[in-house]
Amino acid sequence: MATAAVHPASLRLRLLLSPLKSRIRVPQAAAAFGTSVTSAKVAVNGVHLHYQRTGEGEHAVLLLPGMLGSGSTDFAPQLQSLNKKRFTVVAWDPRGYGQSRPPDRDFPRDFFERDAKDAIDLMKALQFKQVSLLGWSDGGITALVAAAKYPSYVRKMVIWGANAYVTEEDVRIYQGIRDVSKWSEKTRKPLEALYGYDYFAKTCEKWVDGINQFKHLPDGNICRHLLPLVQCPTLIVHGEKDPLVPRFHADFLHEHVKGSRLNARSLSRTEGSTKDTM
């Protein structure tokens, strides 16, 4: 959680937006250039995608939320605290999530590729010439796909809580979160408020089925075949207390994303986002 000096989310952003050197430097204080956040929708690939935007800097950063998440639920600290003069920050709601509805969320086998194309096309529609990516959980997977498929457009990347394939152990973990009534109240309540209980519960079940389908592909493949195509400087962050993503996934990403750095720390998922441990 936050300390008197450094909020972990701010640390992640600093690592993304500064050169990826061998040591972690203490981030600068929160921005002193105003905190105005605008909210809008834009037509992209046949849907209307909602996004929040703040800052006026040359360096564009796209924040990619996790499963069931949105810009407001997952990235409020980043939208508030990033230096507005140096960076332009966009937090988006993937189709079917947050305020990017309709349509309802679905999970075809290519949903990560679809999200990656939506994300990149959103930033192009907003007239950014290049972008850095900060993604966690499903947003981290989407960021990996986007960086691999659009290498000239992605400048830098930080991901955490991501995986490139699905194992039997992962399937057991996913089944454990299928029933949202068993989630902690702190985790459940913001999503209930965002979606209503019925849509929230139904979409979580659909997500579990959607992510489990990768287990039936060779090697449980989600995007492991794309990892060698990532060219941008990449920081992989792993919380050793993460109950949903075992450490071996972070090690695999580090091994297969050329030139990447891995920072594994004793953090829970709540210290890498605004969500709490389930």
Distances (CA, A) of 195 to 101, 119, 270: 10, 21, 20
- Determine, yes or no, domain membership for 20: no
Q: Which one has a higher pLDDT value, 267 or 188?
A: 188
* pLDDT more than 90, % of the chain: 81
pLDDT in tens, 242-264: 999 999 999 999 999 999 999 99
DSSP state of 47: E
User: Is 9's pLDDT higher than 70?
Assistant: no
pLDDT in tens, 74-124: 999 999 998 899 999 999 999 999 999 999 999 999 999 999 999 999 999
* Residue 161 phi, psi dihedral angles, 5° rounding: 70, 25
- Determine, yes or no, domain membership for 204: no
21-29 long-range Cβ contacts below 8 angstroms, 24+ apart = 24/263, 28/83
What's the Rg (C-alpha) of the chain?
A: 17
Distances (CA, A) of 204 to 52, 164, 195: 24, 20, 11
How far is residue 228's CA from residue 38's CA, in Å, rounded to a whole number?
A: 36
- Determine, yes or no, domain membership for 195: no
CATH code of residue 252: 3.40.50.1820
- Determine, yes or no, domain membership for 233: yes
Domains: count for the chain? 1
pLDDT value of residue 12: 40
User: How many CA atoms are closer than 13 Å to the CA of 78, on its beta-carbon side?
Assistant: 35
Domain containing residue 259: 32-166+218-268
How far is residue 161's CA from residue 242's CA, in Å, rounded to a whole number?
A: 8
pLDDT in tens, 209-218: 999 999 999 9
How far is residue 62's CA from residue 71's CA, in Å, rounded to a whole number?
A: 10
How far is residue 44's CA from residue 249's CA, in Å, rounded to a whole number?
A: 32
- Determine, yes or no, domain membership for 237: yes
- Determine, yes or no, domain membership for 183: no
- Determine, yes or no, domain membership for 273: no
What is the model's pTM? 0.85
User: Is 4's pLDDT higher than 70?
Assistant: no
Mean pLDDT of 123-137: 98
DSSP state of 130: -
- Determine, yes or no, domain membership for 227: yes
